[in-house]
Amino acid sequence: MYKFVRDYIKVDLNLNDSTNSYPDIYLENLKDYPVKDCQAIKEGNRRSFRFNLKEFHQCGLTKSKNLLTGLTTYYHRIVLDYFNNTQEYVYFNCTYKALPKKHHIVKRDLLPDDFVEDEDFELTDTLVQQAPEPEVLMQIKQNNEIVTGNLTIVSGTPLLMEIKLNEESSKIYGLKANFLEVGNTLELNETILFNGCTVDPYLFDNFNLTENEYLLAKFRAFKFPDSSYVQFRANVQICLNKCQPTQCSNGQTAYGRRRRRELRPQAYEISLNTLLQVKDQTDNDDNKEYP
């Protein structure tokens, strides 16, 4: 059960286990993440999460805004880790529509005074189709393996960042990484991708289009001095068919997704993030820093 009240989302999970052997519950990719606002609140046999939507990035929520309908959706997944080495995933989402701004209607006479509308017309066919809601995944890989929250990366390690649509959406939409910011989960933030182009190619490459139609960028692991956690926050455009690629100042083209003749308008704007734990080569497991 979940409740949406303007500035926050509350998710309640009722656990019916008479043995009291409750599972370990955490947000996907945030196991052992030390920020209390992202941890489950224990209340008897109930576990609750409360998310501040003004800081939705903090706990990894994804924000999807439909630019055609005005609907905004927040979503995430909760992991239930049972003692028999099985897992259960709980997906939740909340959708709302912003109230329209006040506007004035002015009557305009566009038709001539002697215009007469036909009384009889023939309707031959009606076709209604609805495209699926796109889901975007951003993940970091090392040696083609996904880096999870249980793995700590050493500074300087070659990594790949991958952004992709789910299979159903990839047949309809195009994808483009427009903006990427990196932070230490506290107050320090730096822009590393602006208007689709990298700010510093030595730190982070431009996103390129792969044969599998994913967006992929190479970079080396880095960290901030006061935290072992690095959070990447991205703004992604979702377009019907294909997004317009960006010509960067270094001569490279930051592609959207597939190459087609016809370009379609932007349909969605997605804000998502992923978390990476990085340690210096001189650090050891007993001396980890937390934000």
Q: Output the tens digit of pLDDT for each of the chain's 291 residues.
A: 667 677 889 999 988 765 456 789 999 888 888 889 999 999 888 899 999 998 899 999 999 999 988 899 999 999 999 888 888 999 998 888 876 555 555 556 666 666 666 666 666 666 666 777 888 999 999 988 888 766 678 999 999 999 999 888 888 888 889 999 998 866 778 999 998 899 998 889 999 878 777 899 999 999 888 888 899 999 999 988 878 777 887 667 665 443 444 445 788 999 999 988 888 776 554 444 434
How does pLDDT run across 102-111, given as a tens digit for each residue?
555 555 666 6
- Please check whether residue 108 lies inside any domain of the structure: no
Report field, pTM of the whole predicted structure over 0.75: yes
Q: Give the DSSP letter of residue 166.
A: -
For residues 51 and 159, state if they share a domain: no
Strand partners, 9: 4, 51
For residues 199 and 269, state if they share a domain: yes
Q: Give the DSSP letter of residue 167.
A: H
- Please check whether residue 225 lies inside any domain of the structure: yes
For residues 143 and 237, state if they share a domain: yes
Range of the domain at 8: 2-97
For residues 192 and 85, state if they share a domain: no
- Please check whether residue 107 lies inside any domain of the structure: no
Per-residue pLDDT at 186: 64
CA distance linking residue 242 with residue 244, whole number of Å: 7
281, two tokens: 């080569």
For residues 165 and 60, state if they share a domain: no
Per-residue pLDDT at 149: 63
For residues 210 and 260, state if they share a domain: yes
Strand partners, 95: 73
Q: According to the 3-state scheme, what is the secondary structure of 168-187?
A: HHHCCEEEEEEEEEEECCCC
Domain count, the chain: 2
Helix (H, G, I), strand (E, B) or coil at 57: helix
Q: Which CATH number characterizes residue 266's domain?
A: 2.60.40.4100
Helix (H, G, I), strand (E, B) or coil at 110: coil
Q: Which CATH number characterizes residue 41's domain?
A: 2.60.40.3210
For residues 77 and 211, state if they share a domain: no
Q: Is 231:185 a contact under the CB 8 Å cutoff?
A: yes
Q: Is 103:52 a contact under the CB 8 Å cutoff?
A: no
- Please check whether residue 57 lies inside any domain of the structure: yes
Q: Which of these three, 97, 124, 149, is where a domain ends?
A: 97
How does pLDDT run across 76-92, given as a tens digit for each residue?
999 999 888 888 999 99
